[in-house]
Amino acid sequence: MPAINLAIADDHKIFREGLKATLEEYTDLNLMIEAANGIELVKQLAFKSPDVVLMDIKMPEMDGMQATAFIHENFGNVKVLALSMFNEDKYILDMMKAGASGYLLKNAEPQEIMDAILTVYKKGYYFNEHLSISLVKQFMEKSTLRGKGKEDTELNERETEVLKLICQEKQNTEIADKLFLSVRTVEGYRTKLFEKTGSKNIVGLVIYAIKKGIIDV
């Protein structure tokens, strides 16, 4: 796989330096752009084309939401991964509506940051477990991510039943009771669903189910 070209936009230099140091060990990444606000970022995008932008939400002059909307409108191939200290649904949904392809908290572990970058690059989206299922459904109602699921992945009838119940936020014990299965069997189906759909978490399963028309928003 070719190196992923990366941009970092954050007005806190200490955080930028820390993030750069964290990502230096990953040879699959190439830091192409570093910016302290949205205007600096947009100016550099005229000459350089990163694959993924790590975008802070709160920045002076042009904030992350404004910059994300501009990128979504003018540089459609560039994926924005929002970085924020805020975990409220409003901030997440606003960034998604602006065109962000994922949302990551700034206190995330280095491996999660790398996983998020890779997932956004390969799949076009990344959401972690902090994102509520109801919020996923709101976002997916009008999302351009619809219809981009793995076309070669087909679930059997039982896997589909389990997936539907997972999307209803049912626990393994509830799913087992509903389908007359053992909890261990349900755990096996859950593991298989992650493998077959390539999802990292429950949010990924919900997005897959919506894109494939298994559940409605």
Q: 122: part of which helix (H) or strand (E)?
A: helix 110-123
pLDDT at res. 148: 46
Quote the tokens at residue 48.
């350089």
For domain 4-131, the CATH class is alpha beta
Q: CB neighbours of 46 closer than 8 A, spacing ≥ 6?
A: none
CATH of domain 133-217: 3.40.50.2300
The residues of the chain that CATH labels 3.40.50.2300 are: 4-131, 133-217
Q: Does the pLDDT of residue 64 top 70, yes or no?
A: yes
The model carries a pTM of 0.71
Is 197's pLDDT higher than 80? yes
Which one of 144-158, 167-181, 190-204 scores highest in mean pLDDT?
A: 167-181
- Name the percent of the chain lying above pLDDT 90: 48
DSSP 8-class letter at 25 = T
pLDDT of residue 188: 94
| 71 neighbors 94 (Cβ within 8 angstroms) | no
